[in-house]
Amino acid sequence: MKVLDLKCSHEYRFEGWFASTEEFESQLSRKLVVCLMCSTTEVSRMPSAPRLNLTTSPRGEPVPEVAQAKARTQALAAGLPDAQALQAHALSFMRELIDRTENVGERFAEEARRIHYNEAPTRNIRGVTTPEDAHALLEEGIDVMPLPVPDALKEPLQ
């Protein structure tokens, strides 16, 4: 399989996969290679470097420099949370936030004002409001923060 860097006459760059260089030339001459952005068939091949497997020697032995570089990369990455860990942490935070707040639903703006003006007991609330109402609350000096809650956390699990 050959992976070729291509460019159309409008300067859009893209990648094409072909069985061989000859197959690319054949498809190009038959106007079968098409730019995905502008649909032109005026496509040319860009210079590209071949992909080389440098992780093993020709005898199949690991290359020490590659192994060392891979180990350094893994060590650096170990200090950073991976995507799954980050997502789990965010969901845990959201669950805790939901547990510690009262859902006032569509009455959010009204209830926030009541709390701010000491007409209702002070407590942490969450709910739904329009962007206009949220902006009005901010102008009144009432701190609000939009926080999109994933649907899976809105209702208790069955």
Close Cβ partners of 52 (under 8 Å, ≥ 6 residues apart) = none
Pairwise CA distance, residues 135 & 141, whole Å: 10
Pairwise CA distance, residues 90 & 30, whole Å: 52
Q: Examine the pLDDT at 150 and tell me if it is beyond 70.
A: no
Answer yes or no: pTM beyond 0.85. no
**Domain ranges within the chain, ordered by starting residue:** 2-45, 83-154
pLDDT at 56: 56
The tens digit of pLDDT for each residue in 82-127 reads: 666 666 777 778 888 888 999 999 999 999 999 999 999 999 999 9
pLDDT at 13: 84
Q: Which string of b and e fits 13-48 if b means at least 16 CB within 10 Å? A: ebebebeeeeebeebbeeeebbbeeeeeeebeeeee
pLDDT at 113: 96
Close Cβ partners of 8 (under 8 Å, ≥ 6 residues apart) = 14, 35, 37, 38, 40, 42, 43, 44
SS3 132: helix
The tens digit of pLDDT for each residue in 27-79 reads: 999 999 988 777 789 999 988 766 555 555 556 665 555 565 565 556 555 55
